[in-house]
Structure 1
Amino acid sequence: MAVPKKRTSKSKTRIRKAIWKIKANKSALKAFSLAKSILTNRSKSFFYTINDKLVNSSKSITSKLDEI
């Protein structure tokens, strides 16, 4: 069975955790930004479906929800 020769130092562990946290924060910011653009109807490239119809997000969401 493979066993590491030496223990990983605290600084290396902290560096790896910091990198992981930075990547997670970056992807969370992207998702939040996309959600904000969809809710404010500013998204030009995002499409979603309502009742199996393809709808552009730049159209009014409230008018589509009133039809349901």
Structure 2
Amino acid sequence: MAVPKKRTSRSKRRIRRNFWKKKGYWAALKALSLAKSISTGYSKSFCLLDKKNNK
């Protein structure tokens, strides 16, 4: 028979939520960094073919 689980404390919930938010923050920071490097042309980890020069 199913038994209801114990309630998670607020501090534990807050810690888990902060980890979840921090994960998104770092992903956004990496994406922004990659976009900046692509736009300046100094990207070493991302190859982008330019259709104008590739005839």
The aligned residue for residue 36 of structure 1 is 36
- RCO higher in structure (CA 8 A, sep ≥6): 1
Structure-2 separation of matches of 1:17 and 1:44: 34
What fraction of aligned residue pairs are identical, expressed as a percent?
Answer: 53
TM-score (norm 2): 0.78
Relative to its length, the structure with more strand (as a share) is: 1
Question: What is aligned with 1:11?
Answer: 11
In structure 2, runs of 5+ residues without a counterpart are: none
Pairwise CA RMSD of aligned residues? 2.2
Give unmatched runs, 5+ long, in structure 1.
Answer: 49-54, 56-60
CA distance in 2, matches of 1:10, 1:23: 20
Which letter maps to 1:18? N
Structure 1 runs, 4 residues or longer, greater than 3 Å off: none
TM-score (ref. length: structure 1) = 0.65
Q: Please give the alpha-carbon distance, in whole angstroms, between the structure 2 residues aligned to 1:24 and 1:7.
A: 26
Shift, 1:64, TM fit: 2.0
